[in-house]
Amino acid sequence: MRSHPLELRLKKEGILYVAGIDEAGRGPWAGPLVAAAVILPSNTRLPGLNDSKKLNEKQRIKLFKEILKKGIVGVGIISHSYIDKNGLSKALLESYKRAIQNLATKPKHLLIDGIGKYKLGIPYETVKKGDSKVRVIAAASIVAKVVRDTLMDSYAQKYPKYGFNKHKGYGTRQHHQNLLKYGVCKLHRLSYEPVKKVINDSE
């Protein structure tokens, strides 16, 4: 993936610590929301870097290890209960804040995937479909995805009936069938309509 014009412009302006930000887990019915912030030193080589959704698991994990080795990485994890209590918008903002706070180096500028307005105390720009266009956002998308998938795999050991290692908490047919059969577990987002419907129908 080539450097995006935004990245080149910021580099030309002498802004070296630019963090890409992306998240994984807005839509699932269960599990956490995970955001990642990644700073890549100038001229960092990451062959095969791309949007995490366009990579298979093996490719993601290989790049994840390279990003951890070569980049500066921060992760922000927000629980399902925080989402239920505060809503997705606040949860998303908080996940970004935590990811930035967990960077070893404070960024001078942020490039955030998608659209939206955020109060982060650092200059930023949003990029629609940035995870497939901007190197630092693509790197963040991989980190967020791998961290979240790893968490869901661990939860699958604790709640084996639900198949979290397969669908990662997303609203698949299998997940819906397991919800109907076993009801909700402590990982489910009770504020999400499909989960609420299962609860209401069982009462």
Q: Find, among 48, 41, 39, the residue nearest to 19 by Cα.
A: 39
The pLDDT tens digits of the residues spanning 13-58 come to 999 899 999 999 999 999 999 999 999 998 899 999 999 999 999 9
Complete domains list, the chain, with CATH:
5-154 (3.30.420.10)
The pLDDT tens digits of the residues spanning 74-90 come to 999 999 999 999 999 99
The pLDDT tens digits of the residues spanning 123-150 come to 999 999 999 999 999 999 999 999 999 9
Percent share of the chain, pLDDT over 70: 100
